[in-house]
Chains A and B, each alone.
Chain A
Amino acid sequence: LSDEQSQIINSILEKTYYNTSADKSESLDWFNVLVAQIIQQFRNEIWLEKETVIKSLNNFLNEKDLGDLLGPITITEIDIGDYFPIFSNCRITTVSNSVGKKNLQAKIDIDMNDRLAFGVETELMLNYPRAAFATLPIKLNVAIVRFQGCLNVSFTTAEDFISKSSDTKTTTEPNNENDKNERDDENGYNLIFSFSPEYQMEFNIESMIGSRAKLENIPKISSLIEYQVKKWFVERCVEPRFQFVKLPNIWPRSKNTREEKTTPTDN
């Protein structure tokens, strides 16, 4: 089986004129420009609807059961940055997974110098000896100002991976719709990506704690938040965990066909 995979991989590399050991790494300038365009579009949408976005995020956070440790949460700031991530140094390698199955993988360096920030106001609740016996007001501004890492991208079929989410396994009621979706998930190709563990994530965290007598920018609070954010990130998209994205069908179909408007509009 291993030989067969090696043959397929070698055949692909040969017919695409790629030599994994001799080819120089590529710059991805063209890709950066296209990605920047999508991010810009996303930012515009958020800026236009900023109040609505904050409001719906507030609703979302407060409807969610966050345990009884935190009081109501108010979002005070969202900053989605001014710059764009820069991808570079792309090279193709052959990797084998834990069961020895070989695959082709693109390794891409990513560098982001920007400010992605999130500000919240809440209260830490002390529930001893009675619920909400004492509360400690907390204001936080958490910004990620630098991210550097190596992104690994490959395509694969679903059978090689198990889901880390418990939700998909504990579907209690048999549901035709779900069954169908699950079967679809098992078919076709998926894009998987993950970051190498030696990534760097730099934070700028501001904290204000207390009701009248306040403590400002406590290093311990910063390290607590850094720990939680990195934990969230590592548990989702740092090796050996992968993010798994089902690829859409790109076969040309009439329902996906468009053409440019011919009548000029006012703007």
Chain B
Amino acid sequence: MSFNINWSEIGSDASISEAVKDHLSSYLQNVSLPSFVNNLKITDFSFGAIAPTIILKEITDPLPDFYESVNEGLVEGDEGWTIPSPSDTQFLIEVEYKGDLFVTMSGELVLNYPSQEFIKLPIKLAVTNIGFHSLCLVAYLAKQIFVSILCDVSDPILDEQNSEPLLDPNGTFMAPKKPFERISIIRSMNIDTEIGQQYQGEGSTLKNVGKLEQFLLEKFKDLLRKEIAWPSWINLDLSGDNNEEESIGGEEEEGTGDEIQSDGGSDETSIS
């Protein structure tokens, strides 16, 4: 690894875990749930004890897309118009995570058989074994940090473009700006469900639990792809008052052009 990471620093800090928990909760609230699940809430979140491995691959000037985003709505020459400065920097990093981070959730499983809302069952879900190994961009400019996941390290697209620089804004890799073409960012993730003892063995119940697990997996992958995978990114503003504020920028497909608060906005993704 290139970075030395004090993972226990954030693991031992309850306020950071709490902040992530709140963040995930508000995201979950805006997810349109299927008919068979109600009141899904995050009950616990932990960073675990195992840190990701981060390897620095390249240091370059930031991509033009980040400047376009900073200058959105401004006319060239306006106050606040940002032009590239020699001190702006971009890191291409490889992040490998195979740690013991976990999220637990609680909710109600609704049985719509033999009639609508026939039974409601309390349910607990544990998300564990999250693994990914991806290339990421971290850019610093205009007192803002941009973080975007590019693709999995074994994405076939990486073999195709040996001859050209990876981060060429006009190259095959960065140019299409289409998400979902690349292979999944999340390599592994387990969702284990726990329901009352007396319902195990009921086939219809377990079938719906499996659906719910599948649903949540898809939701989580969607979250990553839509909000932090290229051509979207997380934007941390380090200037002035909004020090702690975190917002989402990038080329949101349904975006309004303005920066969207990551805990706001509705998500209309439906499942089959």
Contacts and interface: CB of A to CB of B under 8 A. Distances in A.
Contact of B13 (A130, A132, A213, A215): A130
Contacts of B61: 220
A210 B2 contact: yes
B116 to A, nearest CB: 45
Interface stretch (A114-122, A185-193, A221-229): A221-229
A212 interface: yes
A210 B9 CA distance: 20
Contact of A211 (B1, B58, B89): B1
A57 interface: no
Interface residues of B toward A: which range? 20 to 34
B153 to A, nearest CB: 13
B59 A211 contact: no
A230 to B, nearest CB: 9
A133 interface: yes
A227 B87 contact: yes
B13 A134 contact: no
A12 interface: no
Nearest to B54: A134
B113 interface: no
Interface in A130-166: 130-137
B58 to A, nearest CB: 8
A52 to B, nearest CB: 31
A215 B10 contact: no
Contact of A210 (B10, B16, B56): B56
A79 B10 CA distance: 42
B236 A128 contact: yes
A221 B59 contact: yes
A189 to B, nearest CB: 38
Given A128-B236, A129-B10, A133-B10, A220 B2 contact: no
A44 to B, nearest CB: 37
Contacts of A55: none
Nearest to B86: A227
B5 interface: yes
27 contacts: A126-B3, A128-B236, A129-B10, A129-B13, A130-B6, A130-B13, A132-B6, A133-B5, A134-B3, A134-B4, A134-B54, A135-B4, A135-B6, A210-B55, A211-B1, A211-B2, A213-B55, A215-B2, A215-B57, A218-B59, A220-B59, A220-B61, A220-B89, A224-B86, A224-B87, A227-B86, A227-B87
Given A211-B4, A212-B1, A227-B86, 9 more contacts: A132-B6, A133-B9, A135-B6, A136-B3, A210-B56, A211-B3, A214-B2, A215-B56, A220-B59
The 4 closest A-B pairs by CB, nearest first: A210-B2, A227-B86, A220-B59, A130-B9
